[in-house]
Amino acid sequence: MFFRTDQKHGLPHNPFNALVAPRPVGWISTLDRDGRPNLAPYSFFNAVSYAPPQVIFSGGPRPGRRGEAVPMKDSVINARETGEFVVNVATWETRAAMNATSAHAPAGADEFELAGLAKESAVLVKPPRVKECPAHLECVTVAVYPTLAAPGYAPNLIVLGRVVGIHIDERVLTGGIVDQAKLQLVGRLGGDQFVRVGDVFAMRRPD
């Protein structure tokens, strides 16, 4: 089949997300201007450079009726206004709590408390880390860019962050290398589907 993305596809669900997959989950913790914590997962997330290490996550407006003026998601607002965020690495063990923090809670709600998670201080930034996660990326916001937007829709905002500090629990290291079998990352597929990293193989680049 073929369909134009500006027309109806006729399928039960839009297949776009399922085809660009698996996508790592950026479990983003921030503080608002009043110092209140926020925690939410974003599947529009990835690493984009090594030197310096940088990541992006993209968030849209809060759910609302089409064409209605609705505020942007808290993580995006907080990262833009305070200039900091933490990426908490989502794993098989934390999957239920990660999913719980995707609920549409009122602005200012503490998703750490709602999901029964413990806060742990970061070293270089103010937002707290999820203590239960085996790895974290402390980030400072570099820039925020709007995406294109279809008529009647608000754009997503892409947050670019520089990674200034990395935490790794030594229990997920083997010989000084991150052991994916121990880490068991969780990735997002299409719809309600996720994947656990487990079938790992190696291929040497030809050059």
Contact 159, 57 (CB under 8 A): yes
**Domain residue spans of the chain:** 19-196
Q: What is the DSSP string of 160-178?
A: EEEEEEEEE-GGGEETTEE
Tens digits of per-residue pLDDT, 29-87?
Answer: 999 999 999 999 999 999 999 999 999 999 988 765 454 556 789 999 999 999 999 99
* pLDDT at res. 64: 57
Tens digits of per-residue pLDDT, 127-159?
Answer: 999 999 999 999 999 999 999 998 888 899 999
Q: pLDDT > 90: what percent of the chain?
A: 82
How far, in Å, CA of 192 to CA of 14, rounded? 12
| DSSP conformational letter for 144 | E
How far, in Å, CA of 111 to CA of 61, rounded? 18
By CB atoms closer than 10 A (0-12, 13-18, 19+), residue 66 is exposed
In this prediction, residues 103-126 reach a mean pLDDT of 94
Model confidence at 97: pLDDT above 60:
yes
List Cβ neighbours of 20 (8 Å cut-off, separation of 6 or more). none
**pTM (two decimals):** 0.93
> Is 19-196 CATH 2.30.110.10?
yes
For the chain, first and last CA: distance in Å? 37
* pLDDT at res. 89: 98
pLDDT band for position 104 (cuts 50, 70, 90): confident
Strands 186-188 and 84-89: unpaired
